[in-house]
Amino acid sequence: MNKTSYTNLAKGWEFAEDHAFSRQPKGLVDARTRAEESGLPQGSSAQAALLALLVRMTRSSSVIMVGTGSIVETLELIRGLDNGGQLTAVDSSAQGIVLIRSLFTDLADRTQTRLRAVNAQAGVFLPRLNGDDYDLIVVAGDAANYAATFAQAPRLLRSHGLIVFTDVFALAGEHENGGLLNPADRGEKAVMMRGFIDDVESDEAFDTAMTPTGTGLLIAMKR
């Protein structure tokens, strides 16, 4: 592709992002604003919309969200569950879990989806869950969340279940310096992602695909 093609792709990404944001319900926009005002940067609107669609496409009834103040992703996953199933949000940050629990309290009378918010490290909490019991796992936030969650994915996911890793380009961090796209970026997440993507794609228990949605998604399906 030439320079013009890349410029058009960048404009297309911006268009898709703005379009997805314009279609989000007011409650989700308000939650994004509330989270960002609390110092918790939120992910891409197009990415969140795709996650909600994946819930519906896979007919998921049991979902785990592992993140660090990942409010928008969590609410879109709940929306994708269409008033059914269950969602477990795992957040190791005190600030993030307080906001998630507040949102869950607000939703309690408006959804039949069972909501659980857990303040714990992924590597500590996930081993306690029943195996072969989940349809979809989404991972976001701190670098430590990724490998710890993937280590449990073969046990937790049902056959053909999905695990989705957000921000695989490592562009969402406060101190990012070009992320995966810049070899000189030696930040924790960028360094981790360079090896982690290879680990996931080489795992024979999963089929994978990467997409540039948001700040990069890596989707892996358990065979």
- Tens-place pLDDT, residues 127-138: 999 999 999 999
**What pLDDT does 183 receive?**
93
The DSSP code for 166 is -
Hey, how many other C-beta atoms are within 10 angstroms of the C-beta on 192?
17
**What pLDDT does 175 receive?**
73
Dmax over CA atoms of the chain, in Å, equals: 53
Q: What is the CATH number of domain 3-222?
A: 3.40.50.150
d(Cα 149, Cα 93) in Å, to the nearest integer? 16
Residues 156-194 have pLDDT tens digits of 999 999 999 999 999 997 677 899 989 999 999 999 999
Angle (CA) 22 218 26, round 5°: 20
Nearest to 172, CA basis, from 190, 151, 149: 190
Nearest to 44, CA basis, from 62, 26, 19, 81: 19
Retrieve residue 220's tokens.
């892996």
Q: Are 170 and 187 in contact (CB under 8 A)?
A: yes
φ/ψ bin of 186: left (φ > 0), alpha (ψ from -120 to 50), beta (otherwise): alpha
